[in-house]
Structure 1
Amino acid sequence: MEPITLTTERLLLRPFEPRDADEVHAACQAPDIQRWTIIPSPYSRADAELFVGELSPQGWRDDTMFSFAVTARDGGPVTGALGINRHSLPGTYEVGYWTAPDHRGRGFTTEAVLAAARWTFTALAADRLEWRTEVGNTASRAVALRAGFRMEGEQRSALLNKGTRRDTWNGALLPADLGLPGTHPYLPAPDVSGAL
């Protein structure tokens, strides 16, 4: 797929470019970004160059990973990153994100997640957008909840991060949650809470 740009009231979500390496490198020095994401730790300038110069463009070319640099709509520094990754189940994608420390607490990430979710449901014809994070990452969970994700539980040993298997919180967003039609009909399970 050709890389695209999304806009919101305050934000621009654009493909990463080689010129972003310094800002990505600086943001990824934050201990909590290294702790809660699967980026290398320590995170070197070469890691940032590889991501913005090779991995991100390759994901767009082969339709597996759609990575966006999040900036203010009128330009400025990279305030965060957001990725939409293809899942093995058809019509299903996963969202991941981080926010640079100096740009937190303003709702930028929630706004970016909602824009990317709408794009995923319309342009990619997704029927399900999943979110997961390691148990304990309350900031990521708060963003997912504000964006409308429904929490679906925990999975044991569902994430391999820096050589250690970890438990995850999981949630999902469906097109109907944003008032959008799905690609396929959806039949929710009946309420069986009173069944024997």
Structure 2
Amino acid sequence: MPGCAHECCRVVITKVCPVITFDRRKGLATWTASPQNRLMEPVTLATERLSLRTFTPADTGEVYEACQDPDIQRWTTIPSPYARADADGFVNRMVPDGWRHDTEYTFAVRALEGGPLVAAASLHHPRSGAWEVGFWTAKEHRGRGYMTEVVLGLARWAFTDLRCTRLEWRAEVGNTGSRSVVEKAGFTVEGTLRGGLLNKGTLRDSWVGALLPSDLGLPSHQPYLPART
């Protein structure tokens, strides 16, 4: 999430130009694809209550205000203290670069009817088949189940349209709020990685969890054979 830059090797691959439609029965926006030799363009998704779209320069002030929260600074990798220049760099460089280079898709979360910034959420692509979800929620919007709804919406999009076969989550040990979100979304917390997360120049132990397409009753783009126990 804001403050984490991901380097990549840019290649020209066949991607899609999305056409978004909203299925109210499923509470999720879907998009149809027309193949083109281009990288991913920002898309807009929707859940039952929320709209997810890319950040724009108009969001800079709200990002700055939300990231003054000590809990966001403590548990995410954003700079601390968090300056307006950090918000500007996130909105105007990091977010568009992620879409442009096909490495991270970051969304501003608001109510369907509009209103203030509720949260930020992203998917980034550490290796073939796997994606990782990251997020923060503005303090005044916590406790309403918004982020679990967002994570489930992103998971369905990733499994359906991004050919994701495993959606991962990592958080520093002790970040019980983040863990609660993903457990409610159906993730299995698989263990603890020693020194698994770099935050503010220090390696910290992290929880790691994952969600598979089958956990949501969706088909996988690759066959999966669980180990026998």
Per the TM superposition, whether the score is higher than 0.5 is yes
2:78 is matched by which residue type in structure 1?
A: I
Aligned residue in 2 for 1:66: 105
Deviation at 1:127, TM superposition (A): 0.1
- Cα deviation per residue 1:20-61 (whole Å; 9 max; x = unaligned)? 000000000000000000011111111111111111011011
1:3 maps to which of 8, 19, 42: 42
Aligned residue in 1 for 2:81: 42
- Cα deviation per residue 1:119-143 (whole Å; 9 max; x = unaligned)? 1111110000000100000000000
**3-state SS in 1 of match to 2:118:** strand
1:106 aligns with 2:144: yes
Aligned residue in 1 for 2:130: 92
**3-state SS in 1 of match to 2:94:** helix
1:178 aligns with 2:178: no
Tell me how far apart the structure 2 counterparts of residues 30 and 177 of structure 1 sit (CA, whole Å). Answer: 33
Aligned residue in 1 for 2:192: 154
**3-state SS in 1 of match to 2:105:** strand
Matched residue count: 190
1:5 is matched by which residue type in structure 2?
A: T
Tell me how far apart the structure 1 counterparts of residues 110 and 93 of structure 2 sit (CA, whole Å). Answer: 20
Tell me how far apart the structure 1 counterparts of residues 97 and 116 of structure 2 sit (CA, whole Å). Answer: 23
Tell me how far apart the structure 1 counterparts of residues 57 and 103 of structure 2 sit (CA, whole Å). Answer: 20
1:18 is matched by which residue type in structure 2?
A: P
Moved over 6 A (4+): none
1:12 maps to which of 51, 57, 60: 51
Deviation at 1:17, TM superposition (A): 0.6
Question: What runs of 5+ residues in structure 2 fail to find an aligned partner?
Answer: 1-39
**3-state SS in 2 of match to 1:43:** coil
Tell me how far apart the structure 2 counterparts of residues 86 and 77 of structure 1 sit (CA, whole Å). Answer: 28
1:71 is matched by which residue type in structure 2?
A: R
% same residue:
61
- Cα deviation per residue 1:56-95 (whole Å; 9 max; x = unaligned)? 011011110000001001111111000101012x110000
TM-score, structure 1 as length reference: 0.96
Tell me how far apart the structure 1 counterparts of residues 199 and 173 of structure 2 sit (CA, whole Å). Answer: 12
1:183 is matched by which residue type in structure 2?
A: H
1:82 aligns with 2:121: yes
Tell me how far apart the structure 1 counterparts of residues 224 and 131 of structure 2 sit (CA, whole Å). Answer: 17
Tell me how far apart the structure 2 counterparts of residues 19 and 173 of structure 1 sit (CA, whole Å). Answer: 33
TM-score, structure 2 as length reference: 0.82
Tell me how far apart the structure 1 counterparts of residues 104 and 198 of structure 2 sit (CA, whole Å). Answer: 18
1:137 aligns with 2:178: no
